[in-house]
Amino acid sequence: MTTAVPRVVIAAPSSNAGKTSVTTGLIAALTARGLTVSPHKVGPDYIDPGYHGLAAGRPGRTLDPWLVGEDRIAPLFLHGARGADLAVVEGVMGLFDGASHPSVEPGFASTAHVAELLQAPVVLVVDAASQARSVAALVHGFATFDPGVRLGGVILNRVGTDRHEAILREALGTAGVPVVGAIRRLDQLHTPSRHLGLVPAAERSAEAVTTVARLGEVVADGVDLDAVLALARTAPPLDATPWDPADEVTPVPGRPRIAVAGGPAFTFGYAENAELLAAAGAEVVTVDPLRDDALPDGTAGLVIGGGFPEVYAAELSANETLRADVAALAARGAPIAAECAGLLYLARELDGVPMCGVLDVGTAMTPRLTLGYRAAVALSDSVLAPAGTRVRGHEFHRTHSDPVAGPAPAWQWSAAGPEGFVDDGVHASYLHLNWAGSPVVAERFVTACAETGALARSEPQHAHR
């Protein structure tokens, strides 16, 4: 089937050009006009979609060919854009910068790659702070580098003065790409960052809401929104069917209750993961390890995604009743899937502060950033996958675990050796997965939760380990 959704991709020549601020402001400005905007982000990032979602009032979703495959990009896009008047897609890094992995061609999973898969026009955000006429050469190069990418407009960011703007516009008059906006330097809109990038919107609460609203005002003042809308409407209908999690999994009887960690300490998670759990028959509930003193009644399984537990280590440790509840759940053999921050929370300690003690592992912050795409193979049978299963994920952290793997490791993705921990129902690893790329993971996990939940209900409490 063909589906028409007006859409535009916001890209840049490089990182740090202001893509996130411009994209978030654009979404906020269009939403303020009364439009329903579907926000998307190229790549595996969790943080930028949080700001997009805050601006749009609906979940920000990622589009990553590495994690989910090229054939799912258009369907996932259409799924996220259901009921929207238009979609705004923020790119990653520079327009043509993609995955650096020997298994794929250069440019794979780049902004340009996703723009081509979506047949979407591109608006290039150019940091004009340190250039004048040279901007025309830069834009001309990006417009002609790949004929499969349609560069439909330029937004000049960090413009100094009226004279500076006039010089830039005059130069770009010969580049063949219209200027659809010019935004002045506004240092007061700086978004706080930390060791993994921007501070997640969920952690900044009222401050984040104020920042997003101000970004919307700035973009509305400096960008020709009508021109952006007109460009978005030039995107042709997509010959694809919206992704439906119900088509990816078979519902499991029993409706097991699965708790998913949330709150400020655990903000990293893909919306599709929870949707697949629900489609596979689970009742999905949220638990905030900073505030809730127990798991929800009847919890049969637990999913703990990524985030910043190192920032909240003292508060997480102080919640002793929930830590004990998580440890008891693991002791009963209930399925627990933990990624990165989840691994840290299940560990014996984090930076010397006691955690749940489910894993006999010490973890700590390090100065080294570990990130990148990973092609992994499961080394042990687990509640997520049988041994030998191949998946694509990504790694993104500044912490270290000692040991890096247990007697039954979770994955291996390089010659460096095994990684992660599989222990009874527990699967803990630094590897992040979007389950839309491997839906069987969700079905297998819900099945395990249903089985152990039924067993727990049939046994007297004293029989639990």
Q: Which stretch of DSSP H or E encloses residue 238?
A: strand 238-239
Q: Are 231 and 115 in contact (CB under 8 A)?
A: no
Tokens encoding 436: 């839309």
Spatial separation of the C-alpha atoms in residues 179 and 439, rounded to whole Å? 42
**What's the chain's length in residues?**
465
Q: What are phi and psi of 88, to 5 degrees?
A: -120, 125
Spatial separation of the C-alpha atoms in residues 420 and 156, rounded to whole Å? 45
Q: Are 183 and 218 in contact (CB under 8 A)?
A: yes
Spatial separation of the C-alpha atoms in residues 4 and 283, rounded to whole Å? 33
Q: Are 393 and 67 in contact (CB under 8 A)?
A: yes
Q: Which stretch of DSSP H or E encloses residue 208?
A: helix 201-222
Which of 202, 300, 340, 378 is catalytic? The answer is 340
Residue 449 among the catalytic residues: no
* Class of residue 416 by CB neighbours under 10 A (exposed 0-12, middle 13-18, buried 19+): exposed
Contacts with 48 (C-beta within 8 Å, 6 or more apart), sequence order:
20, 23, 24, 41, 60, 90, 198
Strand, coil or helix: 430:
coil
Pairing label, strands 238-239, 197-198: unpaired
Residues designated as active site: 340
